[in-house]
Structure 1
Amino acid sequence: MTRTKTNYEELVQQAEGLLSGQRHRIANAANLSALIFDALPDINWAGFYFLEGDELIVGPFQGKPACVHIAMGQGVCGTAARTRTTQRVADVHAFEGHIACDPASRSEIVVPLIVEDQVLGVLDIDSPEPDRFSEFDQEGIEALANAYVRSVG
């Protein structure tokens, strides 16, 4: 199936409008995960994990039920949080220590959310297609994560 490129510039504008005037991290995460899930083709999960102590706790999301606790440094989400770098994984089954919340997921992108030099959590998006996320997608999803950070920071 040929996928058209997502217009991330337009999607970021929609996100900024949706999050404008609201600083509540849970409300904004809920709305942004719904926007992303509706807008991006070929994904099966979009949502947030928030750092509490030494672990990530599931926050608002769209998709099948998710793992509740993820230790820092574990799986794709924990690795993104610990390294403070986006993790774009073409094949989650080849990622050492991958945590399989939904066995249908084949690829994943996780962007750390950093507010005032502190990791707040991560934005996590999964796809049932291998190698779903390109560099182009990474730039767009990082821009969406930055819109979220600006809304709550």
Structure 2
Amino acid sequence: MHALPRGNGTDKTAFYTELNAGLAAVLEGERDLIANAANCAAVLFHALPDVNWAGFYFLRGPDLVLGPFQGKPACVRIALGRGVCGTAAAARRTVIVPGVHQFAGHIACDSASNSEIVVPLLTGDRLIGVLDVDSASFSRFDESDAEGLRAVAAAVLAGSDVAYPL
């Protein structure tokens, strides 16, 4: 098994650089999107400090459908434009929410979650799904996390075959 960094919050840029190197080693040689998303969710859940959920939703018709994740059971279907995940997917942009209980339309899958970051998975203009990470702490995520997780999402997509119907 590959050694993964454990962030301490002091130098997020260096942490995400090391995390992405470790993730690349985990994904090497595998092209299946679901397998790579599963390993990525595990890597994020165990490497990111102060995280209580990390995983993927994939676009299936008009909904985001739960994919591989780590954490408590989650909502299975989310409509585009609904909740933090649906908002990020519809807007095709990263959404950082410091306090999810103040987010209009927030979907509370785990009442312990207080902040969230969602990164859309895009190949060109095509929306594949989203990468979603939650924390029990308020204001856990910032722009450094957004940049780091966008690189994680890009690595998963680049290392995976996404041609089959999602």
TM class by shorter chain equals: over 0.9
Is 1:77 the counterpart of 2:117? The answer is no
Q: Sequence identity of aligned pairs in percent?
A: 57
Aligned position for 1:136: 144
The AA in structure 1 aligned to 2:48 is L
Cα distance between partner residues in 1 of 2:9 and 2:41: 21
Cα distance between partner residues in 2 of 1:5 and 1:137: 11
Is 1:67 the counterpart of 2:72? The answer is no
Q: CA RMSD in A?
A: 1.2
TM-score, normalised via structure 1 length: 0.95
Greater than 2 Å deviation, 4+ residue runs: 2-6
Counterpart among 106, 112, 117 of residue 120 in structure 2: 112
Deviation at 1:3, TM superposition (A): 4.0
Aligned position for 2:3: none
Aligned position for 2:108: 100
Is 1:123 the counterpart of 2:128? The answer is no
| SS state at 1:152 partner | coil
Structure 1 residues without counterparts, runs of 5 or longer = none
Aligned position for 2:39: 31
Cα distance between partner residues in 2 of 1:68 and 1:138: 24
TM-score, normalised via structure 2 length: 0.88
Cα distance between partner residues in 2 of 1:86 and 1:26: 21
